[in-house]
Structure 1
């Protein structure tokens, strides 16, 4: 429930004489007298402040959206970024993809369940703790493959995958909350692109580790040093998450705050999960797009990269894939914030571009795939398959090299657009957490299905066709939401329907002035 507002200065007057304070020197527990004679509570009580750093007049920069976004981007640089580098090698850096298929099936199965409810957890515990706990699973996952290289302990790899699913569900929901609800509306596209640049730099740098260590290797698993490097970096990411502020401390340049719940409880947050769907039932039309957003990794990493190329070329392809994502994120993010065009127009334009890219890039992928050897040939133990090396040149390597680059560009474009669409539907941190949870949960369900299909040894052509078909179908379902439901702006009043806060708590300074409310700032704590 929202805190009741006192109706007169006397309602909050202390019984004993207190030191005189001005409107700009009040503490977080006092009220401020306004020109109209009505006492109003100061927007953020001290309990919302980040306890590790003082958030006063000299320290507000640390609690700004851009600093917090950069911090969470660095956490993802070190944790999921390094995970992507391992996955992009194909087979988790091993020769046989069985261990990674089993781990990935377990990972995305638990990920799907936990992420669906992780918005509730993030709203209750705060993004800082949620993100920090989420980073732990990545270290254990990398360690399981180091162990597997020596003892083939498949059980440990499966456990690590399942545990990572729990952790990743929490981490990505906290990340999505920050990326969608912290920026002002006119900058959401570029904030998403900045995050995607830093996050994918993690995968690029991570992919350079195995490339450098396996530069002369054309067969066998990657080296122990590769896995040890990943473990150390992932651990640093989990620790870095503890230096974040929670959402209640964040203040934008215009003086506005992220819309949350003043008094979150498990009951209110579980109800909020239901309200997200009941208030906007049409959001389910985006679910196929969520489902399709990670399925292509299975084909690209295992059925293309691991199947058709040797060890060092897989590492090079991996580097090119994640490098191209940086360009995709920059171009897409800034295009989505293109000022002269209204947001609803930009949404429609981005959908058209996505549709064209889906059929042009994946059409090129089909032309390449139909010429490749089958799974039976690749996995024939009696006649070892010799993968393509980067020195082969011509159509044998140059064509798929460019295909990897365009696949990476497409991935960044698809993911950036989804986050931007969700961010355009609401500026509420509470609602963003639930949408991010839905997104990552359904995304992971799709990934689990496709990793299982690969584990069942489905033909490479089948894996490709199912991936491409799902992407195209998802766009058809999403079209009505993108075309009809994305508005040029979302009013504060609409977002406050999903919160127990008031306009005094979250509005920009100019709106408070327009309402006759005196703007105050929090005293240093």
Structure 2
């Protein structure tokens, strides 16, 4: 197996590393060194800014900027089905090819998917959209596994929460910027229609740029932290050895199963929020405007919650794990409770949605930004985004608190995205076959509560104040590395 313990540099090397970490001063501003963990996490953030960030902006409009949600719901179901499968092996692929290649390849699928929606606007070729969704699922599994490993393993233990918050802020700023384009290009449309071609073309160009940007990452063995330690050097063993490592992780760290409900819930609620709430209740202009606040609130939620989880003045890491759990549990129930009140203020959403598609009255409400009732609903949507960021931040921070082993964290990230995507595949299919909005809402709230409850034994038994080293997975793997 690859050597995964945290290694200190010799004095001379540590001094050089310190100089390297100090970065540069440009017009009085401190610019971090290119090979520093901070720069690499920021770069990874901008890759996700341009690829999944723009995808989120597009999906956040409801139905991918279209009006009929059935095609994009089926595409999302295909996306997350392949994502779920490849998520389990993405860690193996990452350990074999490295973060740079894995991240870059993953970004390509996002551009393809946006192109399929542009094509659908003119040809109504639903098959191409669904096939592109399935391909994107493969690409996204690789991208998110690479991202999770960089974000969790590059920073020191005391910096993980802040780095997660920083990444999440950059990533979601992509969705914010991406949401501005539909507003500018479609502001004069007060209808519930689709976005124009220029919006799709803009997304495609940005996503291609993100895939290219990934190839500017440096190998992990060249990264040196502020304290002089290096990120574990991950060699590329045989595929068989990697499968052994994946299996051994699942057996030795069996407690990871208790995090699966939290993983399952982590993308489930998007379907209700984007299609059952934003698409159904608002016209195109209102949906695009909501999107900006939804993703801005995610930046704020991630940064603030990441700071809390890393703040040593609040106690030991175990104490902060419990504190974070308590805060998240309260906010989950407060926000979904408010959503329950709003849900029962409008009639059978599915029937009205069907009437709209078949040009039968009455049509969905189509709340516009100038309507008096817009502000209240927009604020709720904002808090849905705030909750999402807190949920993802806590999940990543918790995984990072369980290990410092780069390869093990790659497997954890693969489990996370695989289970997350399996849940998303199910709920998007539920939306495609027109399950009621009440069912989508109730399952979202219930799964969030269940996910919180299941992690309690992990907090009690497995979160420690520090973990400097990790044992090898398989003894004979080490022999293979030596040979």
Q: Residue 261 of structure 1 contacts residue 501 of structure 1 at CA under 8 Å; is this kept in 2? A: no
Query: Residues of 1 paired with 2:455 and 2:23: CA distance?
Result: 45
Shift of 1:286: 0.2
- 2:410 aligned with 1:433, yes or no? yes
> Which whole-Å deviations, capped at 9, do the CAs of 1:360-386 have from their partners, x for residues lacking one?
000000010011121102221211334
Q: Residue 246 of structure 2 contacts residue 411 of structure 2 at CA under 8 Å; is this kept in 1? A: yes
Name the counterpart of 2:7.
none
- 2:65 aligned with 1:131, yes or no? no
Shift of 1:61: 2.5
Q: 1:223 aligns with which of 178, 196, 200?
A: 196
- The number of residue pairs the alignment matches comes to 452
In structure 2, runs of 5+ residues without a counterpart are 4-10, 15-19, 25-31
Query: Residues of 2 paired with 1:190 and 1:263: CA distance?
Result: 30
Name the counterpart of 1:160.
132
Name the counterpart of 1:232.
205
Query: Residues of 2 paired with 1:498 and 1:68: CA distance?
Result: 30
Runs of 4+ in 1 over 6 A off after TM superposition: 55-60, 498-502
Name the counterpart of 1:343.
317
Q: 2:303 aligns with which of 325, 330, 333?
A: 330
Distance of aligned partners of 1:497 and 1:99 in 2 relative to their CA distance in 1, 3 Å threshold: closer
> Which whole-Å deviations, capped at 9, do the CAs of 1:44-72 have from their partners, x for residues lacking one?
xxxxxxxxxxx999999322111110110
- 2:117 aligned with 1:145, yes or no? yes
RMSD: 2.2
Query: Residues of 1 paired with 2:213 and 2:305: CA distance?
Result: 28
Name the counterpart of 1:442.
419
Query: Residues of 2 paired with 1:2 and 1:181: CA distance?
Result: 14
Distance of aligned partners of 1:363 and 1:305 in 2 relative to their CA distance in 1, 3 Å threshold: same
3-state DSSP class of the match of 2:77?
A: helix
What is the TM-score of this pair, normalised by structure 1? 0.83
3-state DSSP class of the match of 2:33?
A: helix
3-state DSSP class of the match of 2:454?
A: helix
Name the counterpart of 2:252.
279
Name the counterpart of 2:343.
369
Q: 1:75 aligns with which of 47, 50, 56?
A: 47
* Larger Rg over CA atoms: 1
> Which whole-Å deviations, capped at 9, do the CAs of 1:178-211 have from their partners, x for residues lacking one?
0000000000000000000100000000000001
> Which whole-Å deviations, capped at 9, do the CAs of 1:360-416 have from their partners, x for residues lacking one?
0000000100111211022212113341112111xx322211101111110000000
Query: Residues of 1 paired with 2:291 and 2:236: CA distance?
Result: 45
Name the counterpart of 1:291.
264
Q: Which moved more, 1:264-273 or 1:463-472?
A: 264-273
Name the counterpart of 1:387.
366
Query: Residues of 1 paired with 2:463 and 2:179: CA distance?
Result: 37
Q: Which has the higher helix share?
A: 2
Query: Residues of 2 paired with 1:400 and 1:483: CA distance?
Result: 38
Name the counterpart of 1:487.
464
